Structure 1
Amino acid sequence: MQLSIQNLSKTYSNGVQALNNVSLTIPKGMFGLLGPNGAGKSTLMRTIATLQDADSGSIMLDDINVMENPQAIRERLGYLPQDFGLYPKISAEVMLDHIAQMKGVGNRGERKELVASLLEKVNLYNHRKKALGTYSGGMRQRFGIAQALAGNPNLIIVDEPTAGLDPTERNRFYNLLSEIGENTIIILSTHIVEDVSTLCSNMAIICNGEVLMDGKPADGLSQLQQNIFAKIIKKDELETYKQNYKVISTKLKEGNLALRVEAESNPGEGFEHVEPNLEDVYFSHISKKVDPITL
């Protein structure tokens, strides 16, 4: 089972090109889609989920043409958008039962077992009788994950899924996705590099609607193996260093800046070679389109 996206493009009526000739082949398992806000990730997710049309290109799930047969995909799809609405006065249990019924689980007994299992997985079973309007942000996000899993989908799309989750909830979410990702295509769209490095065996980086990198995280790391150097500088020195080096990231450290640059050889001047991480891979590619320091 695989999802094949070929030459997908989308320009909105205001002239913004959200997708520019995007091509990806996504196999079974966890696939991370990394990019800054406004990169085109949500547009791509909505297009795959048949919520909007592309201007050109094609999407195939095995032998199913997504753009020509949207209903066939909807029956196999679990989708958690970045912003999703809830009926505030309905309980989680009742709402999830309704969603499961819409996804084709007709037997009442099967639905009851499915609803209980899903709410247990996302740690909401003890809150199943509460109205959704009383849920905190993290609880709402966990309910969204549960509804995306209803009906045993073959393709699951989650857009910024760990937003609003505390560290314990995030770990629970990681474990849940790892478990179901063994037999399902899961697309994890996020700007949080940790989500991808923790979960995904394949990934892509997208910026300004273009795919800048597509492959395994280890491949991206190997390409930068000898090219990342670090140094502590004063904050007022940053602009000078940006003019002279390819600065890919900075972090505040005890009032100063921990600077990381990409170079073919050691720049000297106190820089030290460091092992690259996935953040370096991300910022190295993003810097080809935008200044990563201003993101």
Structure 2
Amino acid sequence: MELSIKNLSKTYPNGVQALNNVSLTIPQGMFGLLGPNGAGKSTLMRTLATLQEADSGTVTLDGIDVLKDKQSVRERLGYLPQDFGLYPRINAETMLDHIAQMKGVGNKAERKELVASLLNRVNLYKHRKKGLGTYSGGMRQRFGIAQALVGNPSLIIVDEPTAGLDPSERNRFYNLLSELGENTIVILSTHIVEDVNTLCSNMAIICTGEVLMQGTPKEGLAQVNGKIYQKSIDKSELEHYREEYQVISTKLIAGKLSLRVESDTDPGNGFESTPADLEDVYFSFISKKVDPITI
């Protein structure tokens, strides 16, 4: 099973080019799509979910033309958008039953069994009679996954799923997504590097509508290993260092600015070589397209 995206482009009426010749090959498993806000991730996700049109390009899912045969795609799709509405007074069991009806599960006994199975899978069965408006952020996201799983989809798209979750809820969500990725294509769109590092065997980095990198996290790390250097400086010195070095990220620690730069050779001047991580990979690519201070 494979999702193939070739030369996909989209420009909005206001002139913003959200996607610029995007090409990606996404195999079965967890695929992380990393990029800052406004990178084009949500536009790509909505296009794959058949919710908006592309200007040009092709997308195929196991031989299905995603851009033309929308109904066939929707029958195989589970989608959890960044923001999704819930009827606050309806309980989870009733809402999921209604969604299953809309997905074509007509037999009442079959729906009851399906709803119970899905709620158990996302650890919400004991909360099935509670109104959705009483759910925590993590519970809402888990319900969102349950509704996305109705119909046994072969493609699941989740857009910024862990934003706003506390650490324990995030870990529960990680475990659930990892389980889903064993048998389906799961596309995780996020700007949180940790999400991709924890979950995904394949990834891509997108910025200003362009794919900057695609491969495994290990392949990404290989491109920056031995090139990352760190130094603590005063905040007032930042502009000087930005003029002299390729600064990829900064972090304020105890009043001092921890500076990370990328260099093919030892930059000297008090910089120390430091092991690269996936965040360095992300910032290395992104900083070549936009000002790293604005990321």
TM-score with structure 1 length normalisation? 0.97
170-179 or 184-193: bigger deviation? 170-179
Deviations 1:79-125 (A, max 9, x none): 00001111222111100111122223333223222222222232322
1:48 is matched with which residue? 48
1:275 is matched with which residue? 275
Give 3-state SS (helix, strand or coil) of 1:33's partner: strand
Give the partner amino acid of 1:15: G
1:291 is matched with which residue? 291
1:253 is matched with which residue? 253
1:180 is matched with which residue? 180
1:117 is matched with which residue? 117
Deviations 1:137-188 (A, max 9, x none): 3322221121112221000000000112221111111111111211100000
1:20 is matched with which residue? 20
> How far apart, in 2, do the equivalents of 1:63 and 1:294 lie?
40
The answer (yes or no) to whether the contact 2:221–2:281 under 8 Å persists in 1 is yes
The answer (yes or no) to whether the contact 1:141–1:164 under 8 Å persists in 2 is no
Q: Return 5+ residue gaps in structure 1 as ranges.
A: none
Runs of 4+ in 1 over 6 A off after TM superposition: none
1:88 is matched with which residue? 88
1:153 is matched with which residue? 153
> How far apart, in 1, do the equivalents of 2:105 and 2:246 lie?
54
> How far apart, in 2, do the equivalents of 1:244 and 1:110 lie?
66
2:5 is matched with which residue? 5
Deviation at 1:126, TM superposition (A): 2.0
2:201 aligned with 1:235: no
> How far apart, in 2, do the equivalents of 1:168 and 1:43 lie?
29
Give 3-state SS (helix, strand or coil) of 1:290's partner: coil
Q: Return 5+ residue gaps in structure 2 as ranges.
A: none
2:195 is matched with which residue? 195
Deviation at 1:283, TM superposition (A): 0.4
> How far apart, in 2, do the equivalents of 1:131 and 1:178 lie?
27
Deviation at 1:69, TM superposition (A): 0.5
> How far apart, in 1, do the equivalents of 2:137 and 2:28 lie?
30
1:206 is matched with which residue? 206
The answer (yes or no) to whether the contact 1:122–1:172 under 8 Å persists in 2 is no
1:79 is matched with which residue? 79
Identical amino acids, percent of aligned pairs: 77
Deviations 1:200-253 (A, max 9, x none): 010000000000001111001011111000111111111111111011111111
Give 3-state SS (helix, strand or coil) of 1:114's partner: helix
